[in-house]
C-alpha cells in the first residue's frame, strides 16, 4: 500500500507551514540513523503559525509515529495547538477530512483515489512509502491457494488498498468475489475475529499483520507479490 499524507488547504501560506512538519519528519527519520545527529528542530517564524494543526495518523510503522513520539510538530510550531488523532484506516481519515476535522492525514492510494473522486478538498504532497511485504493476505493453515478461498470468510477494510488488492487478486484468478464472503472489518476488529476463529483470512497491514501471523496465520500473498505481477502499481 502506498501511504500518502494528505492536506486540507485553504491558503498557500498554511500549506507551506504544514509541509514543513512532514519535511522535519523526513529529516529526523534519516538523521536518527546517523551517530552525529542531535535531533534538534529549528522553529519557523511564529507570526504565521496556524492556531491549530490536527494530524490524523494510523498505527503503522512510518515516519509520522517518529514525528509524534519526538514532539517534532510541537517544537516546530510552538504557537499552534497540535493534536494527534488515531484512525484505523484511510477511510476514516477521509471521513474526518470531509467533516473539516483534520489538516493532515495519512491515507493509502485507494483511499486517496476515492477521496479525490469524491472531490474532497485536499492535496497529495508526499508519498510516504511502498509498503510491499508489510501488507499481506493472512490465511488459515489449510488454505494453500487463492482458489481455496471459495466459500470462505475473508476480512478487509472496505475502501482500503487491501480491499482493492484482494479484488484484483481474485479477478486475476478468475474467482468471482461473490463466491467469497468478503467482510468489512477495521484492523482491530479483524484481529479479534481472527482470534475467535470467525474468519478464515484477512488482508491487512502492520502491526495487525504480524499479530495475525503470530496467532497461527500464514501469508498467502503480499502487496509486493501483486506489484510484481503488475496487478498493482507502486505509485
Q: Is 138 helix (H, G, I), strand (E, B) or coil?
A: strand
- Residue 33: the pLDDT is 31
DSSP annotation string for 48-109: G--SEEEEEE-SSSSHHHHHHHHTHHHHH-TTSEEEEEE-SSHHHHHHHHHTT--SEEEEEH
> For residues 137 and 36, which has the higher predicted lDDT (pLDDT)?
137
pLDDT digits (tens, 9 = 90+) for 181-204: 999 999 999 999 999 999 999 999
- 207 has pLDDT over 70: yes
On whether the CB atoms of residues 208 and 60 are closer than 8 A, the answer is: no
Among 126, 64, 59, CA closest to 89: 59
Whether residue 107 is predicted with pLDDT greater than 50 in this model: the reply is yes
Residue ranges per structural domain of the chain:
2-130, 133-228
Q: Is it the case that residue 212 has pLDDT exceeding 50?
A: yes
203 and 162 in contact (C-beta within 8 Å)? yes
Domain spanning 133-228, CATH architecture: 3-Layer(aba) Sandwich (3.40)
For residue 69, what is its C-alpha cell? 513520539
- Identical topology for domains 2-130 and 133-228: yes
Q: Which fold, 2-130? A: D-Maltodextrin-Binding Protein; domain 2 (3.40.190)
Q: Order of strands across the sheet with 201-205?
A: 181-184, 153-156, 201-205, 135-139, 218-222
Share of the chain above pLDDT 90, in %: 30
Query: How far apart are the C-alpha atoms of 234 and 226, rounded to whole Å?
Result: 10
Q: Are 202 and 181 in contact (CB under 8 A)?
A: no
Return the C-alpha cell found at 108: 493509502
Map residue 156 onto helix, strand or coil: strand
Amino acid at each position: 500500500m502506498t501511504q500518502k499524507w494528505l492536506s486540507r488547504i485553504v491558503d498557500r501560506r498554511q500549506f507551506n507551514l504544514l509541509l514543513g512538519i512532514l519535511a522535519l519528519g523526513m529529516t529526523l527519520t534519516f538523521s536518527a540513523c546517523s551517530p552525529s545527529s542531535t535531533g534538534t528542530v529549528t522553529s519557523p517564524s511564529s507570526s504565521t503559525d496556524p492556531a491549530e494543526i490536527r494530524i490524523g495518523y494510523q498505527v503503522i510503522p512510518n515516519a509520522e509515529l517518529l514525528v509524534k513520539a519526538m514532539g517534532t510538530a510541537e517544537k516546530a510550531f510552538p504557537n499552534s495547538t497540535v493534536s494527534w488523532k488515531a484512525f484505523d484506516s484511510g477511510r476514516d481519515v477521509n471521513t474526518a477530512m470531509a467533516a473539516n476535522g483534520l489538516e493532515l492525514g495519512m491515507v493509502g492510494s485507494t483511499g486517496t483515489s476515492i477521496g479525490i473522486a469524491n472531490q474532497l478538498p485536499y492535496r497529495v504532497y508526499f508519498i510516504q512509502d511502498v509498503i510491499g511485504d508489510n501488507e499481506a493476505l493472512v490465511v488459515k493453515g489449510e488454505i494453500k491457494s487463492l482458489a481455496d478461498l471459495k466459500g470462505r470468510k475473508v476480512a478487509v477494510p472496505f475502501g482500503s488498498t487491501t480491499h482493492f488488492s484482494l479484488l484484483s487478486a481474485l479477478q486475476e484468478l478468475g474467482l468471482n468475489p461473490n463466491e467469497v464472503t468478503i467482510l468489512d472489518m477495521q484492523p482491530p476488529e479483524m484481529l479479534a475475529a481472527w482470534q475467535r476463529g470467525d474468519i478464515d483470512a484477512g488482508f491487512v497491514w502492520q502491526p495487525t499483520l504480524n499479530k495475525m501471523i503470530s496467532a497461527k496465520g500464514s501469508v498467502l500473498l503480499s502487496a509486493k507479490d501483486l506489484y510484481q505481477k503488475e496487478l498493482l502499481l507502486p505509485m
